[in-house]
Structure 1
């Protein structure tokens, strides 16, 4: 074999080897596993203002080779096209898979909230679960134009938010989140529930306000229809609701202090000048004193029909109440409660 042929052969061999190495490197960079976490999944949260460096910092503890990820990201034009959201990458994903996921697979998150007393509390609870900050969200919730358009006002705006679990995008806008809650509210207040409220002579907003009182009065779900029946009976004959939880709310509102703990309503509290004080003002308060559960709203809509007008804590079966048809019977029941509460030394 001539020297020329030998040179050509070696060149070919080296070319094949170099090509193989190049192919291997390309494959490893683009298609090989680049995940460094042990769990089955890892969750990525990319903010709306994030740049590629922010994405890299988010991914740094999750990848074996961050430089390889950056190389592929540049080749696939992801570096200048960041998409905000919540993304889930799975163990064994390649750089190619990860970038494809970060481009299109924004996964909704589940938000949860329970019985909040004010929109401020709700905004804080939600802000801990989505990208929006609480002040921006609160501003959107209080927007007078939005509230008027949907039939609410500042006093009853909390009624629109029903305690439950909901699916939303982590990077949803304040307007998008409140619109989601409005649609859930509309779905809840279907024709059947609206018809029941109308038959009782109340609006859905009045039912929610009444349900909030019922829920504050008793933690026992099985007792709520009976408590609701007491309040419905009072309203039918023009009696004031005289609900202690409304007095507690009125005091917190007037003091601008919702952190205070009030275990006992005093006689002087009954004179507080607030539309939420149902000892001073008749009818249903202008809004809910807290966010009622769906079960509490349904308890009011399906209230128990009876002849009770009064109830007080049952000191023989705590958590439940003793009910009475007459003020004389109620006073006897109440005397037992007052003795007990005095024995406990509860003054406020």
Structure 2
């Protein structure tokens, strides 16, 4: 008997197989292009600067090895019509696919910077920290922090402008412009100085800026938060008596030498409005960024009769307080001897 001939010619079978294989390949390629794991673990964030073109974004992605196959990303980006470049700081999750990544970039779904600051001594240091964490460089922030005109817009002077910045954790987008960032800090300052705090400042016969200036001195003196109210009370007593504050941290600031460990007579002679051994009252501005604890310590100062204090000779960071010169001199001699015994001469 003759074998039955196949219903399909051999060439058709081969064609169908080829079409099937090609279809599988195209499907696999499409999957890899849009849905397959693409993002590597080389970088945590993709930073897109203001004004970047697609070509610049793609160049960053290639140079930083952000995706496994840059050519597939490029194809997906063009297929998804990724043209409107939105600057920002975009979180990269290892294994993220191109479709998700491009969708985030197209939508501008960036992750805010959790910006925390405290214990900042100088404006220049703060400008440097801002420049390190955000798109604008430190010079742009420094220009704002030292601008009399901008300070005046917010109700400050160039000298006390630094008191507008309340140490805390802020969520701010990486590409936020410096001027908008200043507006945000002022909003937070306004919220911080609520009715209760403002009334306490008025009770002290101080402006909020003056409270912050005194708080900066308290912060400079205190190593322990629990002693801040007592130190604040001492300086308030001196202010009310019309006495010089004679605060060593202001002398160190006036001399611009933050390595001084032992304040000497030669340090006290500098003619500088921040030298509270020569100039009565509060200095023109804060000697450092005051902490919230220090501000609240001033507003809730400890009521006592002390007008003198000296660091304890046990180097615990606490102070010995006194109501009169004789008692203070005894405490001071003990501390000076302790410094000499430890060979701390300057």
TM over 0.5: yes
Of residues 250, 256, 277, the one that matches 2:254 is 250
- Aligned residues of 1:239 and 1:282 also touching (Cα < 8 A): yes
Report 1:196-235 matches (<5 A).
196-235=200-239
Report 1:55-94 matches (<5 A).
55-60=57-62, 61-78=65-82, 80-94=83-97
- Aligned residues of 2:41 and 2:93 also touching (Cα < 8 A): no
Of residues 100, 109, 113, the one that matches 2:103 is 100
- Aligned residues of 1:124 and 1:134 also touching (Cα < 8 A): yes
- Aligned residues of 1:89 and 1:101 also touching (Cα < 8 A): no
Determine the C-alpha separation between the residues in 1 that align with 2:246 and 2:17: 96
Higher mean displacement: 56-65 or 201-210 = 56-65
Determine the C-alpha separation between the residues in 1 that align with 2:292 and 2:310: 24
Higher mean displacement: 273-282 or 203-212 = 273-282
SS of equivalent residue, structure 2 residue 41: coil
Q: CA deviation at 1:24?
A: 3.2
Unaligned 5+ segments in structure 1 are 253-257
- Aligned residues of 1:212 and 1:296 also touching (Cα < 8 A): yes
Query: In the alignment, is residue 31 of structure 1 matched against residue 44 of structure 2?
Result: no
**Aligned CA distance change for structure 1 residues 139 and 23 (closer, same or farther; 3 Å):** same
Across the two proteins, how many residue pairs are aligned to each other?
339
Matched with 1:312 is 310
Q: CA deviation at 1:330?
A: 0.9
Determine the C-alpha separation between the residues in 1 that align with 2:68 and 2:265: 68
Q: CA deviation at 1:235?
A: 1.0
Report 1:176-191 matches (<5 A).
176-191=180-195
Unaligned 5+ segments in structure 2 are none
Matched with 1:255 is none
Q: Which deviations, in whole Å up to 9, do the C-alpha atoms of 1:257-287 show, x marking residues without a partner?
A: x5x5111222233232211111111111111
Determine the C-alpha separation between the residues in 1 that align with 2:40 and 2:210: 55
Determine the C-alpha separation between the residues in 1 that align with 2:263 and 2:325: 19
SS of equivalent residue, structure 1 residue 166: strand
Q: CA deviation at 1:15?
A: 4.5
- Aligned residues of 1:141 and 1:178 also touching (Cα < 8 A): no
Report 1:38-49 matches (<5 A).
42-49=44-51
**Aligned CA distance change for structure 1 residues 269 and 20 (closer, same or farther; 3 Å):** closer
TM-score (norm 2): 0.91
Q: CA deviation at 1:30?
A: 1.7
- Aligned residues of 2:160 and 2:286 also touching (Cα < 8 A): yes
Q: CA deviation at 1:77?
A: 2.1
Q: CA deviation at 1:103?
A: 1.8
- What is the root-mean-square deviation of aligned Cα atoms in Å? 2.3
**Aligned CA distance change for structure 1 residues 310 and 13 (closer, same or farther; 3 Å):** same
Q: CA deviation at 1:10?
A: 6.2
